[in-house]
Structure 1
Amino acid sequence: MKIVCISDTHSLQHKMTIPDGDLLIHAGDISSRGKIEEVEMFNEWMGALPHRHKVMIAGNHDFFFEKYPKQVKRVITNIEYLNDSGTTIEGLKIWGSPVQPWFYDWAFNRKRGQDIRKHWDLIPTETDILITHGPPYGILDQTIRGEKVGCEDLTDIVQNRVKPRLHVFGHIHEAYGQEQIGETLYVNASMVDLAYRPVREAIVLEL
C-alpha cells in the first residue's frame, strides 16, 4: 500500500501539491485558528484529492474539533476523522489521537503523566499505524532551541507495548523527517517550516 503522510497544513493547502497514493494520512493542524470556515475549506480540499482512503486527526490549532465535537461529522465528510479511536483499512489497523503534552493554551492539551497516559493506554496493542499530533519523546521532537519536547509516556507505550509498523505525527515543524527504530518507522510529516512557510513535501512510503 502506498501511504502519503502529511501534517500541519495550517489552511495553506492551496499552496501544496500532494502526490497520489492508496492512503492519505493527515496528523493534525489542518487550520490556523480552528475556525469553521477553515475546516470547511479543508474538507472541500480533501474531496478533490484522489486517494482511495483518507484518515485524519486534529491538532492543537484545531479548536473546532475540541469545542464542537458533535458537529464534526456534519462538516468533515471527505476524510475519516479519528479521536482516540480506530479504523481498519485494507487489513491495516489504524489508531488516532489528537492530544499532546500541555502547550500554552492550545487545543487538546493534556498534562504530562497520568492525564495524558490514559489516552495512550487506549491504543490497541495490535495497531499497525498510529497517528498522533505530537511526537514521542526523543524522536523527531527537537525544537530550534535544541529542546526535546515529545511525550515520554507515548515513547514508552509505542516502544514497549504497541510497536506499530508506522507512527505518523507532526506538531514540531522543524523536526520534519523520518526515522526507523526497531520495528517502527517514525514520520514527522509537518508540511510547513518554523515560519509557517509551506516548503516541505509529503512523505510517501510503502507499507
Structure 2
Amino acid sequence: MHRKTRFVCVSDTHGYTPSEAGFKLPAGDVLIHAGDLTNKGSMSELRRTMDWISNADFEIKIIVAGNHDVSLDSEIYAQHGRAFHGPRLEDPQQCIETITRHAPSVVLLRHQAAVIRLTRANGPRTAFKVFGSPHLGLWIRNVRRRGALEPDPPDADLIVTHTPPRSHCDKKPDGTSVGCDALRQTLSRIRPPLAICGHVHEGRGYERVGWRGSVIETGCCAPADVDADRVMKGTLPPRESKKINLIDLTGKRGDRLDNRGFACGNADAVLQTRAVSKTEAAPLPLPEVESAAGTVPDQGYRENGLATPTPSADIHIGGHLLSLRKETCIINAAVMATSWPHRGGKLFNAPIVVDIELPVHHEV
C-alpha cells in the first residue's frame, strides 16, 4: 500500500527567514533544506535559521550543510575559518549542536543515511530511506575535494545534496554546467525517486530523468533510447505568481513517477523516528541514522545524541529493485534566485512542493 507524502523543499536561504524572503512555507509532511542555511556560517545566522525551521509545522525536517555553512565542517573551518570570521572563530561543535539539539524532529545528515518512519496520527504514516551529504561543491578553492559519494547508499529513496548533479539543474546564466560528475554517476546507478539539491541559484527548477537502459512508460518523454538518458524539464509558476510551486508525481495532476522500487517497501525493515510533541513529557525514540557504509554513525553524530549505533536491516539492491527504478525527479530548490554580486538586487523564489506516493508502514 502506498500513500501520498508531501515534501516541501528549500535551499540557499543564506540566513534569511521566510518573512524576510517573502514566502510562506506550504503545509506538508517533511521539510527539506538542502544547504546554505547561512551566509557566513556564524552562530547568530544558524540560530535565526533554526528558529524558523524548528518551529515549522512538519513532522520531520531534514538538513544538509552547504558551502556557506563552513562552521559545520570542523576540518575545513580549522583551515579557513579566519577568512570568514577573522580572529573570533566559532566553535564548530557548538554550531552543530545548534542544529542537532532539535532532534528528533530535525535530522542533520553529514554523509549519512536515515530511515524515516512518519507516525503522526493525521499524517501519511509512510516510510522512506534518505541519504544526505554536504561533501560536494565546496566554494573554497584549493581545499580538499570530496566529490564522490563513496560508498554508495544503494537503496536510498531520496538523496539530498547541496550541489546538483552535472547537467541537471546546474546551469549558470552563461549556460555553463557546474554540477558534480560523481553525483551524476551515483544517481544513474541508484536511480532514487527523488534527488534534492541547490547551490546553483539560477538552476532552480526540476527535471525528470529516465535513466539509460530504462523505459519511461508514463508518456512524459519521448520513446526510450537505451543509448541516452531521457530528460523532461519541468515548468513551475513564475516567481511573481501566488500559485504553489507543486510537482505532482502521484499521477493525479500529471504523469506518475515511473519509479516504484522503494527501500522501505518491506515494512519489517523499517526503523522508526518521530517528531517531538510539545505535550509529551516522556523522551521519544531517536531517529536511526546509519553511515554510508550501513554500520554506525560517525563519532560526531554519536556525541550529539542523534543516533544509536544499531545498523539498519540488510536491504539488498539487485536486478528486481533496479528494474522498478526507471526515473528520478531532480529538484534544485534554491530560494535565493540570484548570485553574488546580485545585480539589480536580491530576488527570492518560493519553496518547491513535491507530492509522491511512498510505502505505508505497519500500523502501530
SS in 2 for 1:12: coil
How far apart are 1:126 and its partner, in Å?
A: 0.2
Please give the alpha-carbon distance, in whole angstroms, between the structure 2 residues aligned to 1:22 and 1:55: 11
Structure 1 residue 37 corresponds to structure 2 residue 68 = no
Secondary structure of the residue that 2:31 maps to in structure 1?
strand
- Shift of the alpha carbon at 1:157? 1.1
Which of these two proteins has the greater Rg computed from alpha carbons?
A: 2
1:98 maps to 2:131: no
Partners in 2 of 1:171 and 1:165 — Cα distance? Answer: 20
8 A contact 1:7–1:169 mirrored in 2: yes
2:15 to 8, 11, 35: 11
Which consecutive residues of structure 1, in runs of 5 or more, have no partner in the other structure? none
Select the structure that is richer in strand: 1
Instruction: Name the structure 2 match of 1:52.
Output: 59
- List per-residue Cα deviations over 1:139-194 (Å, max 9, x = no partner): 010001211001111111111x2111100000000010011102100000000111
Give the deviation of 1:105 after TM superposition: 4.1
Report the secondary structure of 1:116's partner residue.
coil
Q: TM-score, normalised by structure 2?
A: 0.52
What residue number does 1:163 align with?
Answer: 191
Partners of 2:59 and 2:202 in 1: CA distance: 30
> What is the identity, as a one-letter code, of the residue corresponding to 1:12?
Y
Q: Which contiguous aligned blocks of 4+ residues in structure 1 show a shift greater than 3 angstroms?
A: none
Match of 1:62 in 2: 69
Q: Which runs of 5+ in 2 are unaligned?
A: 75-90, 118-126, 211-326, 357-364
- Indicate the residue corresponding to 2:175 in structure 1: 146
Deviation at 1:60, TM superposition (A): 0.4
Letter in 2 for 1:53: I
Structure 1 residue identity aligned to 2:134: P
| Structure 2 Cα separation of the partners of residues 33 and 186 of structure 1 | 27
Aligned residues: 199
The aligned counterpart of 2:331 is 187
Could you report, residue by residue, the CA deviation over 1:5-52 in whole angstroms, capped at 9, with x for unpaired residues?
100001111323211200000000000100011111111111221011
Q: Match for 2:113 among 80, 83, 86? A: 86
Asked if 1 retains the 8 angstrom alpha-carbon contact of 2:16 and 2:49, the reply is: no
User: Which of 21, 36, 39 lines up with 2:28 in the alignment?
Assistant: 21
* 1:116 counterpart = 2:112: no
Who is 1:199 aligned against? 348
Per-residue deviation, 1:69: 4.7
SS in 1 for 2:132: strand
Aligned residue in 1 for 2:315? none
Q: Distance in 2 between matches of 1:40 and 1:190?
A: 20
**8 A Cα contact 2:14 2:39, kept in partner:** yes
One-letter code of the match for 1:49? A
1:134 matched to 2:163? The reply is yes
Secondary structure of 2:28 counterpart: coil
- TM-score of the superposition, structure 1-length normalised? 0.89
More off after superposition, 162-171 vs 16-25: 16-25
Q: Which residue of the other structure, out of 85, 88, 94, is the alignment partner of 1:71? A: 94
1:95-120 Cα deviation digits (max 9, x unpaired): 100122353449xx653xxx422xx1
Query: What is residue 175 of structure 1 aligned with on the other side?
Result: 203
| Equivalent AA in structure 2 for residue 170 of structure 1 | G
Paired residues of 2:10 and 2:335 also in contact (CA < 8 A): yes
State the secondary structure of the residue aligned to 2:44: helix
Q: For the residues of structure 2 that align with 1:84 and 1:180, how far apart are their CA atoms?
A: 24
Conserved in 2, the CA contact under 8 Å of 1:99 and 1:110? no
